[in-house]
Amino acid sequence: MAEEALVSFVTEPTIFGGVEAGGTNTVCVVGSGQGDVADRLEFGTTTPEATIQGAVRFFAEGTGHRIAALGLAWFGPLEIRRGHSRYGVVGRTPKPGWEGADVVSPFREALGVPVAVDTDVAAAALAEGEWGAAQGLASHVYLTVGTGIGGGAIVDGFVLHGLGHPEMGHLPVVRADGDDFTGVCPFHGACLEGMASGPAIEGRWGRPAEDLGPEQAAEAADLVASYLAQGLRAVTYVVAPQRIVVGGGVARLPGFLAALRRHFAGSLAGYPGLSEHAADDFVSAARLGDMAGPLGGLVLARRALGQPGVLD
Amino acid sequence: MAEEALVSFVTEPTIFGGVEAGGTNTVCVVGSGQGDVADRLEFGTTTPEATIQGAVRFFAEGTGHRIAALGLAWFGPLEIRRGHSRYGVVGRTPKPGWEGADVVSPFREALGVPVAVDTDVAAAALAEGEWGAAQGLASHVYLTVGTGIGGGAIVDGFVLHGLGHPEMGHLPVVRADGDDFTGVCPFHGACLEGMASGPAIEGRWGRPAEDLGPEQAAEAADLVASYLAQGLRAVTYVVAPQRIVVGGGVARLPGFLAALRRHFAGSLAGYPGLSEHAADDFVSAARLGDMAGPLGGLVLARRALGQPGVLD
């Protein structure tokens, strides 16, 4: 018995848990935090109680693994300052029932392990930095264009935080010539998310991006790219990343990435004239797809336990 | 002799040199890097050779102090990545004769001390963080509105760098209703700097901001504030600073700060709803005036020598 325990102690890697909670679905994974996934569960995001309980059940009894720490990649806005009395509490959101919900304490209490939380996009940025489109870079930004638009920045290997987390989807954008769409953001109307997110496409063309015919899809890709390029320019001029990684469903529109690079170059207008900005890989497609958030959750968990990885 | 040397070693603080080179003037200072200035020289910025030689003479023989390290707070764009082969070389600039000028090597060769360089605004941000309007904060942004618009960000006490330095003056801005001014930026036309810098005011009203009558000055303050507020919103949504410090000549227009706070609140539109963003001091006036850059140069020098200060 004692010998068996010792062997197990020596050979088994530490196992972490990761959760990505999005507006539609919640994905739970377990893994060693080295890019692997040993088990996975996906279910619909509903109320805070049901969603958190579903995840707790998975980690407590639904997998053969015992996790050492948990990383939550949650939709924002939420309080991510460690030591803040509202750490892990969801902020002002239109998602019914979620404003004010504490997403950290229930996990801590039920699982008895360290729990770290950050935005879904910060987690995705971490994962793309470790195993995806920004591997080996110290500073990059991950932007996702889907139901919402959000971004996470990595600076010298760490998630960029300050008073809170970034809110890159709500950048101001200059209206495209002839575009009179009012925008779908409940706060700003015609901000980046208001003009270029999935719901903005649906508001303009009457159907989701994935149901558009080839002509409309090309038109949508170009228009959305022209707005997102302004966001890329703002991000480039504010944090000076080495690369911008773009993910999300809307980014999968045919021709989107090429249009984005073209509009981005036009928006920079040759300033400040760095050759790196003109290189094709400065604006790269995300590589980890839907697994970026959950894998990033594992990075958050690993870091919560002080276990270094590639970027630490 | 030996005793005298020992006393001197114990009691005299290390003295650093700082240079702020702006488009119009160059300011050289010496000081201990604790906020004091022991000597100061100001002269017009001309050619790279004459400007650098004027500063070298000051540090070599124009002051009774021998500096241990030098910090350069230079106008951008310039290469600030340490270890880069073009470290300290000025980039694409409309300033005649300056593109491609190496501003670090001549100082290193002439003075034989460690030389660090960063943008004038990054240096000002450091100084405002140590002794000015952002004292005690880990993360803040300094923005200056004058001949140009520029910004520096401090994240966890360090200057935010990535592929290069930020270029916050060139953020895209949404045109104000009824404003048909084309903008003065040679690259982007109607970017933030193109619409809200000193030359933009002069282009609109036919005279510099400081020569405007009270009615025009109020009009200019409000219009410039409305554009700068968009920049503040972009900075807030991208780096989430704890405070934004605003300096520069245009910021001294009567009523400017109040107008800026009002437009900024309007631009955020209550999102993400943090009380800190609504507090008056979230947008603060710079406190160090024209000395922010030179004092920041001393911080750069101090750090180049590995001497910690308040933020280190």
Answer yes or no: do B174 and A170 touch at CB < 8 A: no
- CA of B239: which chain A residue's CA is closest? A166
Identify the bridge partners of residue A25 per DSSP, sorted by sequence position: A44
Q: pLDDT at residue B310 above 50?
A: no
CA distance B180 to A53: 56
Asked if residue A281 has pLDDT above 80, the reply is yes
Question: What per-residue confidence (pLDDT) applies to B10?
Answer: 58
> Nearest residue of B to residue A235 by CA position?
B238
pLDDT digit string, tens, across residues A195-229: 999 999 999 999 999 999 999 999 999 999 999 99
Question: How many Å apart are CA A63 and CA A40, to the nearest integer?
Answer: 9
Q: Is the model's pLDDT at A10 over the cut of 80?
A: no
Q: At B101, which helix (H) or strand (E)? A: none
Residue type, A77: P
Percent of chain B with pLDDT over 70: 95
List, in order, residues 6 or more apart from A1 with CB less than 8 Å away. Answer: none
Per-residue pLDDT band at A312 (split at 50, 70, 90): very low
Interface touch A277/B91, C-beta < 8 Å: no
B309 confidence band (pLDDT: 50, 70, 90): low
Over residues A234-263, the pLDDT tens digits come to: 999 999 999 999 999 999 999 999 999 999
Using CA atoms, how far residue A202 sits from A188, A207, A210, A219, in Å, is 18, 5, 10, 13
Going edge to edge, which strands form the sheet with B140-145?
B158-159, B149-155, B140-145, B243-247, B283-285
Higher local confidence (pLDDT), B310 or A25: A25
- pLDDT (tens digit per residue) in B155-165: 999 999 999 99
Query: Which residues of chain A neighbour B125 with C-beta distances below 8 Å?
Result: none
With a cut of 60, say whether residue A8 has pLDDT above it: no
Q: What is the pLDDT of residues B73-102, one digit of tens each?
A: 999 899 999 889 999 999 988 889 999 999
Question: A105 and A86 in contact (C-beta within 8 Å)?
Answer: no
- Please report the ipTM that was assigned to this predicted complex: 0.94
Residues from chain B that touch A237, judged by Cβ atoms under 8 A, are 166-168, 170-171
Q: Best interface-test mutation with A: which of B191, B271, B275 has the largest number of A CBs within 10 A?
A: B271
Q: What pLDDT is attached to residue B312?
A: 43
CB A201 within 8 A of CB A218: no
pLDDT of residue B311: 42
The CB-side HSE value for B48 (13 A sphere, CA atoms) comes to 19
Does the beta-carbon distance from A240 to B269 stay under 8 Å?
no
pTM: 0.94
Predicted pLDDT at A311: 42
DSSP letters for A200-243: HHHHHHSS-GGG--HHHHHHHHHHHHHHHHHHHHHHHHHH--SE
Question: Poorest-confidence range of A28-37, A91-100, B192-201?
Answer: A91-100
pLDDT at B93: 87
- For residue A26, give the DSSP letter: E
| CB–CB contact B174 A171 (8 Å) | no
pLDDT of residue B121: 98
Mean pLDDT, range B170-195, rounded to an integer: 97
* Burial (0-12, 13-18, 19+ Cβ within 10 Å), B85: exposed
Q: List, for residues B40-73, the tens digit of each pLDDT value.
A: 999 999 999 999 999 999 999 999 999 999 999 9
**DSSP letter at B62?**
I
